Amino acid sequence: MTTLLGISGSLRAGSLNTALLRAATALAPEGVAFDVATLHGIPLYDGDAEAASGIPGAVQALKARWRAADGIVLATPEYNNGIPGVFKNAIDWLSRPSSDIADTFGGKPVAVVGASPGGFGTVLAQDAWWPVLRTLRTAPWFGGRLMVSRAGGAFDADGRLVDDKLRGQLGEFIAGFAAFAQAD
């Protein structure tokens, strides 16, 4: 069984990126378990707080899920043409202590997707992730790209995926990434 962990970079209850990951759970191919995580409970990174209290429990829990997964799918919103601060903050916490970077990130297969109400999808946010993921020495998957523009129309009021074309694209994306993660 291949395990993929999708992490939503949005905290909103009605997040399009969280909805995209929930849809991926139903579209994962046979033999692939797809789990979804959010960033709720992760505080702003503060080196003084880390020195005084250690790694917060919410960070430890997400790190354990990250490490246990065979591959990671980052579902990134795009805020002001870049990575959302809350999402980058979580990755910064996961890289602590720095002695854990190799075990947490080194060679980990990672893919990036994103959904946006705008017309350009999340192209700039996705591009902004690659230097971060390269620095952490992950194994990025470039075999597919999924940028969902005008995503509000792809989901119903309850966050269910209703766009059949996107359903097919998402299913192909998850299957392709799962194969990459299995081969790694």
* Host H or E run for residue 57: helix 57-68
pTM over 0.85: yes
Instruction: Kindly report the CATH number assigned to the domain that includes residue 12.
Output: 3.40.50.360
pLDDT of 169: 97
Label residue 28 left, alpha or beta by phi (over 0 means left) and psi (-120 to 50 means alpha). Answer: beta
Domain span at residue 166? 2-183
Neighbours of 179 (CB within 10 A): 16
- Burial class of 59 by CB neighbour count within 10 A (0 to 12, 13 to 18, 19+): buried
Instruction: Count structural domains, the chain.
Output: 1
**What pLDDT tens digit does each residue of the chain (184 aa) get?**
999 999 999 999 999 999 999 999 999 999 999 999 999 999 999 999 999 999 999 999 999 999 999 999 999 999 999 999 999 999 999 999 999 999 999 999 999 999 999 988 899 999 999 999 999 999 999 988 899 999 999 999 999 999 999 999 999 999 999 999 998 7
